[in-house]
Amino acid sequence: MQDKSNSYLFTSESVSEGHPDKMCDQISDAVLDECLKQDNMSRVACETAVGTGFAMVFGEITTNAKINYEEIIKKTITKIGYTNEEYGYTPDNIKIFNFIGKQSQDIKAGVDIALENRNDKSDDIIQQEGAGDQGMMFGYACDETSEKMPLAISLAHDLLKRLSIARKSKEITYLRPDSKSQVTLEYDENHKVTRVDTVLISTQHDENVTSNQMKNDLYQKIIKDVIDSNLLDSNTKIYINPSGRFVIGGPVGDAGLTGRKIIVDTYGGAAKHGGGAFSGKDPTKVDRSAAYAARHIAKNIIETKIANKVEVQLSYAIGKAEPVSIMINTFGSGKIKDSQIEKAVKNVFDLRPSAIISSLKLRNPIYEQTATYGHFGRNDLSLPWENTEFANDLEKFF
């Protein structure tokens, strides 16, 4: 009998595009994308709130773009799937509020010209732009999956992506847009996944479906389709809508706000988080761009096979171009010292905000697609921070 005295459990969750908070992330990023399509130098900090009978956008935007906020909100809600009057929330039965203002001139001045170059009249734009805020950002990568993400969050996302396909294709006819998933994995003493301990799916549904039908359909068509059968065993616990009914959902069931699912957006709790949300922010906000850069660094490190997992921390001061600090942590899995990897990173990656924006092409309108099912490990999307083109350059320093 296998000794499990040193085994442990780890859990991650995901939420669908119909979850109220995720609806807000998508609306905020749809506004950002439209601004960037028309004016790629737009400064955007767009927040969204939804609740019974309303959707509201607010925040600070400075742009030459002409934005029809009502049209963007209604189009996003329709795409998500809130089109049936029975859901209690559709584009045509809500009030829309717009409280968008303009970016503070004090913040703008600090971003336009970095602290290092306030008295420098050169044309080096990369050197002159400063960070749009202070803070610390984390990136992470590991060798648990081909996309170099923790398995628990990858499975949680994949369950809901599969559920969304089943809903939109009418493969399962009674599903509604709001849903959540949660996956608990068991690890052995060597930090290797041995099995799936628990799978939880809570999904909004039509009134007339029975609990038994849902349990059978979601196990046979969703769970078994997504999770490797070798990880499921007779002791795996499966919970489908453990609260019972889930007819009332979306903004009618719960209010939503941009930026309230930051762990879902990143690594499912497997790595630290600086606390800054992504959605609705243009790339001068290092909450977003530096988090993407940190993931880019981490993934390239893992590609070199110098470590099994790595966490990268970057920190910035508002108005300053160069990061205040860079930290590499391989959790003891590195074949060389973390400090040596850190030196290689400093030599290979330019981490000034404008350099990040340029190298990762962050002025392109690519953001709405990231607002659901995670910003990282997305093999279904072509995201520049998922590329590993710097792995060979890093290896030269090892």
Which of 13, 133, 287, 368 is catalytic? The answer is: 287
For residue 293, the one-letter residue type is A
Q: Is 118 a catalytic residue?
A: no
Q: Is 195 a catalytic residue?
A: no
Which of 17, 22, 290, 321 is catalytic? The answer is: 22
Q: Is 254 a catalytic residue?
A: yes
Measured CA to CA, the distance from residue 147 to residue 312 in angstroms comes to 17
Q: Is 114 a catalytic residue?
A: no
Which of 10, 246, 376, 390 is catalytic? The answer is: 246
Q: Is 363 a catalytic residue?
A: no
Q: Is 133 a catalytic residue?
A: no
Which of 58, 255, 391, 397 is catalytic? The answer is: 255
Q: Is 95 a catalytic residue?
A: no
Give the dihedral sign, CA 357/360/361/366: negative
Q: Is 180 a catalytic residue?
A: yes
Which of 43, 162, 180, 295 is catalytic? The answer is: 180
Which of 157, 176, 281, 309 is catalytic? The answer is: 281
Which of 260, 272, 343, 363 is catalytic? The answer is: 260
Q: Is 108 a catalytic residue?
A: no
Q: Is 224 a catalytic residue?
A: no
Which of 39, 58, 60, 320 is catalytic? The answer is: 60
Q: Is 197 a catalytic residue?
A: no
Residue 299 CB-half CA count within 13 A: 24
Q: Is 60 a catalytic residue?
A: yes
Q: Is 281 a catalytic residue?
A: yes
Do β-strands 54-62 and 309-316 pair in parallel, antiparallel, or remain unpaired? unpaired
Tokens linked to 287: 């909450």
Which of 13, 17, 21, 144 is catalytic? The answer is: 21
Q: What are the backbone angles phi and psi of residue 337, rounded to the nearest 5°? A: -65, 145
Q: Is 161 a catalytic residue?
A: no
Which of 157, 176, 261, 299 is catalytic? The answer is: 261
Active-site residue list: 19, 21-22, 47, 60, 180, 246, 254-255, 260-261, 281, 285, 287
